[in-house]
Amino acid sequence: MTTTIPHQPTPEQVPDSGPLLQASGVIMRFGGLTAVRDVDLTVNNGEIVGLIGPNGAGKTTFFNCLTGLYVPTEGTVSFRGSVLPPKPHLVTKAGIARTFQNIRLFANMTVLENVLVGRHTRTREGLLSALIRGPGYHRAEAASRARAMELLEFTGLAAKADHLARNLPYGEQRKLEIARALASEPGLLLLDEPTAGMNPQETRATEELVFAVRDQGIAVLVIEHDMRFIFNLCDRVAVLVQGEKLVEGTSEVVQQDERVIAAYLGEPFEGTPGDGEQTTGEQENDR
Amino acid sequence: MTDLSTNAAAMTATTPGARRTEQYIPLPLNAARLLTLAGVVASIASTFMSWTYTTDFPGDLTVSGYPGGLQIMTLIGAILTGVIALGAFRIKGLAWLNPSRSNNSVLLLALGTLATTWYTVIDIAAKLGGLANLDPGGFVAAVGTLALFAGTLALPIDRHPHDEDDAEYIELGSLAAVSLVVAVYRWLRELRITHGDINVPDPRRLNVWLQRLAIVAVFAAGLKVLTYGLATTYSDIFIGYMIVVSFTFWGLGASGLLRQFQQLTRENRVFSSSVGIVAAVAYPFAQNNEHWANLGVSVLIVGTVALGLNIVVGLTGLLDLGYVAFLGVGAYTAALVSGSQYSIWSGVQFPFWAAALTGAAAALVFGVLIGAPTLRLRGDYLAIVTLGFGEIFRIVVKNLDGVSGPQVTNGPNGIAQIPDLSIFGYNLGDQHDIGSFTLGRFANYYLLMLVITVIVVLVFTRASDSRIGRSWIAIREDETAATAMGINGFRVKLVAFALGASLAGLAGTVSAHVTNSVVPDPYVFSGSVPPNSAFLLAAVVLGGMGTVSGPILGAALLYVIPEKLDFLAKYELFAFGIALVLIMRFRPEGIIANRRRQLEFHEDDATAPDKRTLGDDTVSAGTAGA
């Protein structure tokens, strides 16, 4: 895996002026159910932030609030100082890219085409220029392809550029999702369980990939159940339990926090009855 | 682009695994080959004899000395079988005729010959009342083709069993008749040759002029086959023709020749598309019959509209059940500005280019008007709403008659007496002599429509292979993921909808002039006369979604087959339904598979599932991650 790729600076990139992403007081209700309850989270430039919590804690819902798939019932999310628009495609345009917990590639498109779709926001060619095919169109298309191939090199998928996405093995599908997300030239990358179902070697490779992404100046916010992965990777970790943020801090702080251990291991802590059901054997192993 | 060296690697990596060779009649190899060739010779010889006593049977089969009617089908089937068999037997210098080195192609061709011959014999017996009406020639043909088929059954045959299907046939199996059909189907399906098995030599080794000669020859043969089929005058002959043509395609596919030809055209893309256009232009010259020219122009119109629909349905994945309304908008617009005395603007007569643009623009406006509120819906909801809008168009047009509403369209009477077009002084309504050829009215319109079709094909291919086309496909694949990748779903879908609409409108402007009049009735959801939305959709699905040639082929088949098989007339919709169900079940990718489907070529066969049976085993990548 190559660790350097020329990163094209995003035009809107602002030098350190406050946090990159700031979510404040985000509440997401579905009818009577409050899935995310008053969560604040900041991500600074060049940071890798982890988001952990038992199943059903609201991590993915929170992600969806950040990316415009859901419009938060209350609270604001701002990116680079301006409030994010409530449409997913505008969020991507603003510079937040994401992957999905259940891989959502364009299964019947080739690997290269998947990445090219990721380039959508950074290219302009509309229907007319596609029909006329002037020199400008060919230039833009060639540039897009070149950039997409760079990203495939970066993720180690270049040799499979012509394969259908759905024919890739599982681990490579995960990598392709990251490559596709990177193609939109994001300032912040949201990864939703990037190592789910991976073996230790693949997890290790993903870890390196995430570091390499960070080294290009892209901040990363990652949801994961694999604690070793999270604590190796993250500068800061936030713990979400029952839609609320329990703790936030460095790996050490989170690892030693009794409430976190309780949330995972099942000792009910005061005021929240019924937490015992959250425990699963799998997560015990992860600790 | 596909690199041949990687293909070669993929092929050598193929593990035969499930593939096995079987022999159905135990004979030594040489005896089997001899029997096959003897069957070929006997079949060919039989076609020069008389098959029946009377000329009552369609096509004159009473003549000794030269073949006629259905005998020609047997003759062609037998000759092709013989030629491919010589290739399969690795006769020196002829091995190139069967690049797959498999006898399956011979078996399939022999089966086609057998089927068409036995169909003829049984048809004679049934029509004329008993086997007594057969001349010796008929018996020779029946026995000869049987010997041919038996010979091929004694050859080693490759089979690819599909184990995964067993479970789903158990329930069906309780019915004896059904289980027989299923067994035959499964047996036929297991004869298929996967791409991995075809060791296709690189056609690029050929001299470039030889390559081009081959392309020209194939297109010329294709044109000949097409015009021959269209010119058949009896349902019986057409059925025999369809049997031979389908089995020939199947057999040539199994022989690897089709693959090789595909590669040839890919290498000579510009050349082969120009030859294709020339062949299409040659069609009205190849037969001087206004009826077939009329058929040609109708097929082009429905094919072009189906191709426009393919942008909406095949590429973007929006099920539009009211698409024919846009054809109607184009046709009505062209009629209104045609100078017809029944038009409310009878004084207005646009030149054709202006009328075409107006029609396309009007359809575009309607597309945006209908699309803007409806495209926020997904899936079934969108389908129902478009179905409604399609009907609304027809009913509105019916009521704009000055009684129920303002007078615009003459209501159910429509706009009649649309004058013929005149382009640069060339009146398309008149007969023109070019050299020794006569171009009638429909031939003129055929050529005009061909220009429109070429434009639409260009628009389709260019749009689909571009940033916007990729975003359409992305939306079809997974709309949520597509929007998360920065695609403005609504806008991109609206562009697809509007583009599809305007292409239909463009075709509509020509169709108004071809039929001389426009009335609201053809623009229904489903009816017995094309075009209607169900017909167009069936053409797209049958032909192959997301491909260029698929919808055109589908439209041609759906238009020509009912035309040829007059006994189907009453059951046309029923037959449509059956055809669609069968296609969905057995070949969901349509007759012509998408280019993406062909990328199966790259698979490592050891791990990847077989993509030929797509649809039932399409595992979306998403479930893997769940």
pLDDT, tens digit, 9 for 90 and up, residues B412-440: 888 988 888 888 878 888 888 887 888 88
Return all residues near B91 (Cβ < 8 A) that are at least 6 apart.
none
Q: For B85-110, write each residue's pLDDT tens digit.
A: 998 888 887 878 888 778 888 999 99
B422 and B303 share one domain: yes
- The domain in which residue B411 lies consists of 297-526
Please identify, among B482, B505, B526, the residue that sits at the C-terminal boundary of a domain: B526
- Asked whether residue B584 is assigned to any structural domain, the reply reads no
For domain A1-7+16-95+186-287, the CATH class is alpha beta
Judging contacts by C-beta atoms under 8 Å, the chain A residues touching residue B621 are: 103-105, 107, 165-166, 173
Question: Is residue B564 scored above 90 in pLDDT?
Answer: no
Model confidence pLDDT, tens digit, residues B330-358: 999 999 998 888 888 888 888 889 999 99
B246 and B341 housed in the same domain: no
Are B480 and A169 an interchain contact pair (Cβ–Cβ within 8 Å)? no
The rounded distance, in Å, linking the Cα atoms of B237 and B565 is: 10
In a domain, B350, yes or no: yes
The pair phi, psi for residue A279, each rounded to 5°, is -75, 135
Residue B236 has pLDDT above 70, yes or no: yes
Count: domains in chain B? 2
Rg (CA), chain A: 20
**Pick from A143-152, B171-180, B531-540: least confident:** B171-180
Residue B381 has a CB neighbour count (10 Å cut-off) of 12
- The pLDDT of residue B193: 66
Which of the 8 DSSP states describes residue B517? -
Instruction: Work out the pLDDT band at B565, boundaries 50, 70, 90.
Output: confident
Alpha-carbon gap: B20 to the closest alpha carbon of chain A (Å): 25
Nearest to B422 by CA among B413, B412, B430: B430
- Give yes or no: residues B235 and B378 share one domain: no
Cα A97 from Cα A178, distance rounded (Å)? 9
Within chain A, which residue ranges are assigned CATH 3.40.50.300? 1-7+16-95+186-287
pLDDT by residue, tens only, chain A of 287 residues: 444 444 444 444 444 567 899 999 999 999 889 999 999 999 999 899 999 988 888 899 999 999 988 999 999 999 998 899 889 999 999 999 999 999 999 998 999 999 999 999 888 888 888 888 889 899 999 999 999 999 999 999 999 998 889 889 998 999 999 999 999 999 999 999 999 888 898 999 999 999 999 999 999 999 998 888 999 999 999 999 988 998 899 988 888 888 888 887 776 555 555 544 444 444 444 43
End-to-end CA distance of chain A: 29
- Asked which of B484, B500, B526 is the last residue of a domain, the reply is B526
- Residue at B318 is within a domain: yes
Interface check for B529 against chain A (CB to CB < 8 A): the answer is: no
Residue B202: pLDDT band (50, 70, 90) is: low
Quickly count helices (H) and strands (E) in chain B.
24, 6
Residue B246 has pLDDT above 60, yes or no: yes
Distance CA B472, CA B318 (A): 10
Q: Is the pLDDT of residue B619 over 70?
A: no
Q: Please answer yes or no on whether A113 and B459 come within 8 Å at the CB atom.
A: no
- Residue B537 placed within a domain: no
Residues B171 and B105 in one domain: yes
pLDDT at B618: 31
Q: Which long-range contacts (CB under 8 A, 24 or more apart) does A145-151 make?
A: A145/A112, A145/A116, A147/A8, A147/A119, A147/A183, A148/A112, A148/A115, A148/A116, A148/A118, A148/A119, A148/A183, A149/A112, A150/A5, A150/A6, A151/A5, A151/A115, A151/A179, A151/A182, A151/A183
Single out the residue in B526, B549, B579 at which a domain terminates: B526
Q: What is the mean pLDDT of residues B379-395?
A: 90
Mean pLDDT computed over B361-365: 96
pLDDT at B621 over 60: no
Backbone angles phi, psi at A24, to 5 degrees: -130, 130
B468 and A141: CB-CB below 8 Å?
no
Mean pLDDT in residue range B187-215:
73
Q: Contact B401/B412 with Cβ under 8 angstroms?
A: yes
DSSP B613: G
Q: Please check whether residue B548 lies inside any domain of the structure.
A: no
- Give the number of beta-carbon pairs within 8 Å between A and B: 149
**B126/B138 Cα distance (integer angstroms):** 14
**What is the rounded CA–CA span in Å between residue B258 and residue B189?**
18
Determine the Cα angle at B576 with ends B234 and B586, to 5°.
105
Look at A102 and B480 and tell me if their CB atoms are within 8 Å: no
Looking at the fold, whether B482 and B514 belong to one and the same domain comes out as: yes
ipTM for the assembly = 0.86
Residue B253 belongs to a domain: yes
The answer to whether residues B58 and B171 belong to one domain is: yes
The Cα of A105 is separated from the nearest Cα of chain B by a number of Å equal to: 7
Q: Do B75 and B44 form a contact (C-beta atoms < 8 A)?
A: yes
